[in-house]
Amino acid sequence: MQISANKVVSIDYTLTNDQGQVLDTSEGREPMAYLQGHRNIISGLESALEGKSAGDRVQVTVAPEQAYGERNDALRQAVPRTMFEDADQVQVGMQFQTMTEQGAQVVTVTAVDAEHVTVDANHPLAGETLTFDVTIVDVREASEEELEHGHVHGPGGHQH
């Protein structure tokens, strides 16, 4: 069966950056499952997998525009330390969820000084060119419930 819209796809993958550094991998874990055509994965990878079948191996390099977008400096902001509970415990690299006009958003702490905590709402991989080395493990029809919910249920997918 070929990968097309509304199919559940299970993949083994390794993700690297421009320097060849491994950023993520499914090695040692269950394959990752997603629902094709439902924006469960970045568009550049989803497009590269379209039409492929179980057993195929694909290596694709994805530009930021088809991955997590370019970095946007307007998404960095210095906020008063008093905005944080346990401000003395806040450290660079911590992530927090905050509410915005667009809904919940995750921010990463990039700097801390005596008065402010600088947070960045860019995705951690924004601006990165990413290379995926993928082996397609399985392709199957999605259940009605998976289509209704817009994501995979069960192993490698979302658990309810």
DSSP for the chain reads -B--TTEEEEEEEEEE-TT--EEEE-TTSPPEEEETTTTSS-HHHHHHHTT-BTT-EEEEEE-GGGTT----GGGEEEEEGGGSTTGGG--TT-EEEEEETTEEEEEEEEEE-SSEEEEE-S-TTTT--EEEEEEEEEEEEPPHHHHHHTS-BSTTSB--
Task: Tell me yes or no: is domain 73-120 CATH 2.40.10.330.
Answer: yes
Residue ranges covered by each domain of the chain: 7-68+125-149, 73-120
Query: Is 0.85 topped by the overall pTM?
Result: no
Q: Scanning the structure block, which residue is given the tokens 């874990």?
A: 29
b/e burial code for range 86-111 (CB count within 10 A of at least 16 → b)? eeeebeeeeeeeeeeeeeeeebbbbe
Kindly give the parts of the chain with pLDDT less than 70. Answer: 155-160
Is the separation of the CB atoms in 151 and 40 below 8 Å? yes
Q: What CATH number should be reported for the domain whose range is 7-68+125-149?
A: 3.10.50.40
